[in-house]
A = this chain, B = another copy of it.
Amino acid sequence: MTDQQQLILKIVIGSWETQSSRVTKLLNTLSDEKLLSETAKGRNSGFYLIGHLAAVSDALLPLMGWGEKLYPQLENIFLKNPEKASIEKPSLAQVKEYWATIDKKVSEYIHAMQFEEWFTRHNAVSAEDFAKEPFRNKMNILINRTNHMSYHLGQMIYLTEQKD
């Protein structure tokens, strides 16, 4: 791996880990009562958003070819259905644990990736489409999911006390 390639991975992976550690820090800072509250009137709670982020990270496992999802049940609850859907949901404590376990696992896989692997096809694009659109690779997914995490972090931060 060249020095430049090392820098690229440091930046891209560092960006993911900066956001995910901010999520974890929020989880560890906010009370359960706060986490169960809406982030704004009529909007998703912190609980739902953590479950949503955990589900999206868990889905990276098959998407990146790392393996099976750890908690496939999260998809229906936190991706396919909105918070108000009348379906059984895990407890906040469980969701926090899912997040921590998935986040740790994803981080391990990310660090085990060789540079060239980041430029290979992810599993939501066919080999044929990938030949035409080679930017639909694993690096693209990680950067995209990092932005997705930032997006919801911007919402979860509304659970913290106002400054001033």
Q: Name A residues whose Cβ lies closer than 8 Å to a Cβ of B.
A: 3-4, 7-8, 10-12, 14-15, 18-19, 39-43, 82, 84, 119, 134-135, 137, 139-140, 143-144, 146-148, 150-155, 158, 162-164
User: Quick one: copies of this chain in the complex?
Assistant: 2
CA distance A161 to B19 in the complex (A): 27
CA distance A163 to B85 in the complex (A): 13
> Taking the nearest CB of chain B, how far is it from the CB of A6, in angstroms?
9
Q: For A11, what are the chain B residues with a Cβ–Cβ distance below 8 Å? A: 135, 137, 139-140, 143
Of all A-B residue pairs in the complex, the 9 with the closest CB atoms, nearest first, are: A40-B40, A154-B154, A151-B154, A150-B150, A147-B150, A150-B151, A154-B155, A10-B135, A11-B140
CA distance A140 to B16 in the complex (A): 12
Beta-carbon contact of A7 and B134 below 8 Å: yes
